[in-house]
Structure 1
């Protein structure tokens, strides 16, 4: 938040300023600032202006009852998902947690946090990132989770527990892990093999065993030195007899000296290494007995095992090393990088190979990359089969233990389970697919490219919640993270996300897209897609307005430079204002009107802001031409068109044009922000009053500007307010009688009293000042402000009459979207790792529908009795309030559940199918709705009074 107050609250009578009733001048005087010559106050104000970090350094709930929730969701990491042996559960690794889903219906079963990631973390602190997860071989109910700080957690995924047993590596680092087994006290025990590195050119391979959680034994089995910036990879066979790993371009194989070592102390490996022609990005191997080889191939071998290794390279090639172990042993030395081994080369991918896996029978290998295509290579015939047009780049591929399913993780924050026979999805899990930072370097950028991917989100992400569906969160996304962050910014899609079930409902293009085309120029540069800069719903939720922009790259000007080049780029600028009709039944949207260049002078102008009227179907736009335009629907008259009775087709037209700003920006406005950190010269923001009668428009240059008060009905400018913002203008909102302006200073202005209530100077020096955001809550009468602080953010909730915040909390990541929920009290924040935070009052904690795992709802009871034909439904779910909880407990006490005379209610299977199969899992009804539908089937009708 901000740290220094620049004026006193309204309660001070010495500051109050009223306008004369007979005053007719439309231009007001500059809002009065505190007097510097005040004896004591002047010194205090001056001191606070110098120390502008007072409020942002606070972290408290105060006595107001406001709370910041724990983070929900997150970004799926580039780590292989885990599909359990019975194919019943899917375990996904997020940036701050491990989440367990049921594979049958894609529902979140439980969320297991890893490390301290809640809002109580100290400012500037960020949790260690998760680098790998592996299923325990000896106890399938546990997984090993490795973090970058060297902590290896032993997590029981079948229950939620925030405290886990762990041990730390010797070097305090971890890059990758794999799990093998050995004998310990006459029984099998897990051995964790960790790839560690505290130097960029060195990798240590260390095994940890014995009493691994309390007093682990460690043994260094390999050290690899290789300059470069590649990945650390390590895989092992099921019995631990073979290890295969990679570091930069070096591939190494290790074979256990004993088939079944008596203990951890006897575990030893012999390693062989050689160089691969490319930087290694992924690998897989399979082991089978040498007796499977035909003829003379099985004779004269040093090993009775055949190890086939496939390696994916950073330049798109796949290398197959057949019988790599035997050939390495035949070379007679481990450091035989110069001799090498001949490989069979496969090349189809244009960029890096992100994932490659063997099928269970070894007849196929499956690969994926940034082409959004799953490629299946038939090894005998060298033919390829493709599954194209996926929704994002393929990051990870896992083959199920039975071989009947492929688990595919995409970089658009989704994972699906495909059947190998039909390649149709049986499970689909999707998080919020907004732009996000990456914990590691993308595999495509491990080698030098002419294009680059941004390492941070540089602008706020448009998002909205409509009043008729407060549980649906609408956010602008791109075609995967890499496509979104390449170049300037790409977000041409609108994702509808259900916060109640925490599932993606739909995704629709608002601008042109090219997700699976060859989106590179002949010189290797990425072809940029348009970005949706603004979205807004009408008050009744039946209309959606969107603005999308596309700016040509400066490279498109070619040899033209100077003013001629700038004019060429401005003329090529594309700006569209689109109006969409929302279907009430399935919330789908259909394009009704498209306005090309809604604001134009000698070239299309950038639309600076879009606002929706709170009382009617009306939108307003403002651009660098200094014009405010009001848009309203108009019934379309068409002769000979067939329309169903009772329906009317509409088109959207500009109903009013309001010039403001004395022509500022008409001729010399730079509206092509080649560098997002440099704001455009013209700035503008819009906000309607709560009753829709007044439109407030802030417009001006970087250092000068005013707020124009416009009568929304007549379009007349009735008042001009000056001095309410400085430098870069971020947001303008109306809350009751107050006008709230967020710029380099936060100003709260009482429009009715014509009085500046207070101002707060925002701290300087933030690298992400563009992420300053403001949202108002008309239900509680408060507003929220987010301030980026380094790689974190600070969230504060204020009341317009008091500069002291009701709550100030820090989040470990930067907030990129902040919206209020219409009709309810509270705010929803989205950070740059796709996590959702809710800010609510304690008394209204249930007003914002937030996702809860099935375990928290007590609906995770996949009963063991279900195999006997019984349906076990737990009725003790979380109640909406304490009173409802008490009533539910009293009701349970009044019912005698042990009565043997009560007969089971037999439900036809078709009735349950109508409930659970009514729609796909990702678009089905909420958990609570299905719960009540099932219980209504189980409920028996009461007996009549005369029944015996």
Structure 2
């Protein structure tokens, strides 16, 4: 094994304790000093050996004032301290995107920020964090979520952003600012928001209308006006008593003359009592409401004059009368058109209005919008199809095979584009003529939680969607491309969270530019088929449980599993039913060839049921050898298998470099568990009626000479030290885990085991460094994760805490964490970057966090918006310079032309003025190859370093 690069502790409190292999106790833990506020408490705790309890107070991840916060504050200072970056990316919320009037900028609302993109190149212009939403709350709970984003009518350079805690922010989206002015609603709540305006003295003033719910069965509509940022004035305009858990929707015209809203299955229309309002106090509405046959999930309306109606004069209506056509989408798939809804409501009252019904969607209508001319309506739902309805003929046109459910649709101001937001965390702009994308923006498409109830579940269905991510998401980074993150994703959030879990696709994501590169299926998938049985249950897809790259990055190994649902066995129960489920279990080990040029992967070998006893066994872990092209797997049968490539003689396989054909096969079989395999698990005494499930983890040493395999059951397993070359078990280490086994990793000479306890074991000196009891997570034990950083010699542990997570950085020689940080969301994937110091964490709202060592901020950021690089103002400055030259007139230009020398004239110049500044290649290599892109200097720093080389005066040439 590779030697230790870490210094051993010098003080008595941290010296390693000799461990007896035969008579050692499994629950011996390293004594360590308790971190308290008073110095006497510290000395008292350091006097003797004390067993730790489950609070993790001795250098653990517990979030206590006397320990975790003190350690975090201490470790945040200094050049060698570890730092947690700000969150990058996130999940696009179910809020209509905003396309500016000139179609140049697209404004998207994420869970913690508002991000502005340029439509011409789909690049991130700036990220604007929104108040307390961008950070965790003081009590460790999740922060408030954004519920609405609207463009200001008074000044289109500003946005109004409403949060669920009633805070309304005034954000200037043309600038990147950390803080924003805001005001709070009367009730401290906000469910929906729209913006209208009043006109006084020829100037428009914004009026913010907020839907508030102080009580569960009461909805209030409140308008806020006046000086909104210093002394806002509120006015109550509507109160609705309506029980239920439906959506709250509100839309309005810019002049504020018409309001249309919905609560559950009630639709209300408000018309201003005064055509012209000179101040906020004059705002008053007359409301008309009626029930809709379904729970309303989306709505849109258009207003036009009665003169556009055929035969308007014969009906006794004035040509200037307003006509309001309202369309609403229902939770059961119907679309209801209420033509001339305002006039009919005024005449019929509560008698009800007859609606024209359109029905194509199988589940809820997620979004429906009018076209600008009113000849079409555009709808979308969970079918991954955009539907265009022609109103005159009721014919439908389709844009099928989208990459996710349609969440939001926005029609541009000119009517020439559609903005479509999909639930796979992507948004695109389509031209209305060809329905081809002109702009595409995609974030990380991993499984994520939903801030609100999904629209498809507003009515009771046998089909369901999980509300939390309950298992780690497989992710990996190649050694030769440290800026590319590869993560397992599904066909949209809804499809991913359906059933148990669905993530059959591999997404490649560039952390440097923060853009999606590609997406490819690793397992069987049906993205646009009807994936429901005849009884309404979801047809579950295989789950990719493990992925790993070879040391050279040329090969990818993946493991996918599929179990039939217990509903499939019908009336069969008992042992026969269990046997049926086991026999129908599908387990595949696949090997893929990686092409770095086009970021594609090609399937080379598929191993059906690589571990089989009486039935296909589930592969419990997959590991890659860092020194050669070799993978190791371990399953519940107690067998370790090594897999290596070999030259294939027959035709039919895919070719690699040089035209040599390879295939993968098992090169060595190593039985562990005293050679009994699965029988060793069966002989374990168990008092409970539930069968004992085997646990197993596997890891290579850094030099690939040794293989560590942990196998057993709860409290009874051992770690087997295997010679990777001969396959011989050279040592058995007992008592290194307790309870559920989560992870096994090797860091230099240390073996780190994460279970209900965290153990760090020195393999070379055969000593247990220390052990820490991990606090019990109520419903997220699977999200306990471990990653090691071989460059810095440290490891990271994530601990779920309710809806949040805690991340700690540890040294193998010290039980006290170097840093402890909390994230407002749960970490679902934690990986290290090969060849680079640092960790990458992915949370359950698709945000990326990086943990890096050192004080250089450029190593923390993997991607920067153009605003941070000051590139968004470059074009504006260039345009202003051109404009200034044009405004100077022709006289100055003529003078410059007269002073300009003729091309044929001889001009005396120094040699240095015309000599090209030749930069040696090694100077550029020192700048660009100093570190991998993920951990290197920022683009801005490298830009200025290259400019310094170009600006430097070249050395004078010497004549020989």
TM-score (norm 1): 0.87
Q: Does 1:305 align with 2:300?
A: no
1:269-348 mapped onto 2 (5 Å cutoff): 269-296=285-312, 299-301=315-317, 304-331=321-348, 333=349, 336=350, 339-348=351-360
Alignment-derived partner of residue 633 in structure 2: 621
Provide the rounded CA distance (Å) in 2 between the counterparts of 1:781 and 1:871: 57
1:613-762 mapped onto 2 (5 Å cutoff): 613-638=625-650, 646-662=658-674, 666=678, 681-762=693-774
1:343-362 mapped onto 2 (5 Å cutoff): 343-362=355-374
1:520-919 mapped onto 2 (5 Å cutoff): 520-638=532-650, 646-662=658-674, 666=678, 681-843=693-855, 845-847=857-859, 850-864=862-876, 866-867=878-879
Closer, same or farther: CA 141–298 of 1 in aligned 2, 3 Å? farther
Structure 1 SS opposite 2:434: coil
Provide the rounded CA distance (Å) in 1 between the counterparts of 2:956 and 2:712: 78
Alignment-derived partner of residue 934 in structure 2: none
Provide the rounded CA distance (Å) in 2 between the counterparts of 1:518 and 1:505: 27
CA deviations 1:482-533 (Å, max 9, x no partner) are: 1111110000011111111111111110001111101100000011111100
Alignment-derived partner of residue 875 in structure 1: none
- 1:259 is displaced (CA, Å) by 1.6
Structure 1 SS opposite 2:795: strand
Structure 1 SS opposite 2:674: helix
- 1:434 is displaced (CA, Å) by 0.6
Provide the rounded CA distance (Å) in 2 between the counterparts of 1:847 and 1:42: 37
1:160-309 mapped onto 2 (5 Å cutoff): 160-184=176-200, 186-296=202-312, 299-301=315-317, 304-309=321-326
Is 297-306 or 260-269 further displaced after alignment? 297-306
Closer, same or farther: CA 350–665 of 1 in aligned 2, 3 Å? farther
Equivalent pair of 1:863/1:871 in contact (CA under 8 Å): no
Alignment-derived partner of residue 33 in structure 1: 28
CA deviations 1:350-396 (Å, max 9, x no partner) are: 00000000000101000000000000001111110100010100000
Is 45-54 or 229-238 further displaced after alignment? 45-54
- 1:869 is displaced (CA, Å) by 9.3
Equivalent pair of 1:183/1:264 in contact (CA under 8 Å): no
Provide the rounded CA distance (Å) in 2 between the counterparts of 1:793 and 1:305: 54
Closer, same or farther: CA 730–10 of 1 in aligned 2, 3 Å? farther
Is 62-71 or 425-434 further displaced after alignment? 62-71
- 1:238 is displaced (CA, Å) by 2.4
Equivalent pair of 2:709/2:721 in contact (CA under 8 Å): yes
Provide the rounded CA distance (Å) in 2 between the counterparts of 1:194 and 1:423: 35
- 1:790 is displaced (CA, Å) by 1.1
Provide the rounded CA distance (Å) in 2 between the counterparts of 1:313 and 1:241: 26
Closer, same or farther: CA 15–47 of 1 in aligned 2, 3 Å? closer
Provide the rounded CA distance (Å) in 2 between the counterparts of 1:284 and 1:902: 65
Structure 1 SS opposite 2:575: helix
Closer, same or farther: CA 253–751 of 1 in aligned 2, 3 Å? same
Match of 1:396 among 399, 402, 408: 408
Match of 2:142 among 126, 147, 155: 126
Match of 2:170 among 143, 154, 164: 154
Alignment-derived partner of residue 674 in structure 1: none
Provide the rounded CA distance (Å) in 2 between the counterparts of 1:688 and 1:642: 28
- 1:764 is displaced (CA, Å) by 2.2
Alignment-derived partner of residue 454 in structure 2: 442
Structure 1 SS opposite 2:132: coil
Match of 1:378 among 354, 374, 390: 390
Is 218-227 or 116-125 further displaced after alignment? 116-125
Matched residue count: 871
Closer, same or farther: CA 575–740 of 1 in aligned 2, 3 Å? same
Equivalent pair of 2:14/2:814 in contact (CA under 8 Å): no
Equivalent pair of 2:136/2:143 in contact (CA under 8 Å): no
Is 318-327 or 759-768 further displaced after alignment? 759-768
CA deviations 1:683-732 (Å, max 9, x no partner) are: 00011000001100000012210000011111111110001000100000
Closer, same or farther: CA 867–859 of 1 in aligned 2, 3 Å? closer
Provide the rounded CA distance (Å) in 2 between the counterparts of 1:458 and 1:167: 37
TM-score (norm 2): 0.86
Closer, same or farther: CA 935–373 of 1 in aligned 2, 3 Å? farther
Provide the rounded CA distance (Å) in 2 between the counterparts of 1:679 and 1:812: 36
Closer, same or farther: CA 944–169 of 1 in aligned 2, 3 Å? closer
- For the aligned residue pairs, the C-alpha RMSD in angstroms reads 3.1
* Uncovered stretches (5+) of structure 2, i.e. residues with no partner: 1-7, 32-42, 683-689, 885-911, 917-936
Is 426-435 or 120-129 further displaced after alignment? 120-129
Q: Does 1:52 align with 2:56?
A: yes
- 1:297 is displaced (CA, Å) by 6.8
Structure 2 SS opposite 1:395: strand
Closer, same or farther: CA 274–790 of 1 in aligned 2, 3 Å? same
Is 683-692 or 256-265 further displaced after alignment? 256-265
Alignment-derived partner of residue 499 in structure 2: 487
Equivalent pair of 1:824/1:847 in contact (CA under 8 Å): no
Is 700-709 or 743-752 further displaced after alignment? 700-709
CA deviations 1:251-292 (Å, max 9, x no partner) are: 111111112212111111111111111110000000111001
- 1:846 is displaced (CA, Å) by 3.8
